[in-house]
């Protein structure tokens, strides 16, 4: 069968060739986007890891601060109970000053 000077098989071949070309270009664009997208994802992962490391350090510092506060409060309670436990108060003060000096 012919339509003018073009056969149906030739038209079908051109049509399928155009479809393959469009699909190949779309896939190439997808691959290129993926390459650039991975870079952003990797940078985001690195930024998040750094943030988690900082948060972990902050949590450890908070734990130390709570420990120092608890020891100070315990020393005050002991002082109130005994009325004369100033050595533990001095130790608690020194530990608190040391912690505050570390910053």
Task: List, for residues 34-62, the tens digit of each pLDDT value.
Answer: 777 667 778 888 999 999 999 998 998 89
Q: Enter the pTM of the model.
A: 0.47
Residues 71-99: pLDDT tens digits? 888 888 888 888 777 888 888 888 888 88
- 70 and 77 Cβ atoms separated by less than 8 Å: no
Q: CB-side exposure of 58: number of CA atoms within 13 Å?
A: 6
H/E stretch holding 1 reads: none
**Which tokens go with 22?**
């469009």
| Phi (first) and psi of residue 83, to 5 degrees | 80, 0
Give the separation between CA 35 and CA 27, rounded to whole angstroms.
12
């Amino acid at each position: 069968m012919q339509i003018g000077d073009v056969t149906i098989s030739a038209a079908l071949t051109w049509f399928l060739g155009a479809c393959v070309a469009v699909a190949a270009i779309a896939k190439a664009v997808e691959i290129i986007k993926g390459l650039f997208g991975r870079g952003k994802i990797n940078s985001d992962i690195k930024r998040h890891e750094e943030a988690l490391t900082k948060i972990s350090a902050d949590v450890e510092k908070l734990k130390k601060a709570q420990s120092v506060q608890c020891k100070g409060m315990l020393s005050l309670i002991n002082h109130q109970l005994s009325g004369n436990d100033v050595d533990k108060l001095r130790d608690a003060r020194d530990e608190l000053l040391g912690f505050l000096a570390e910053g």
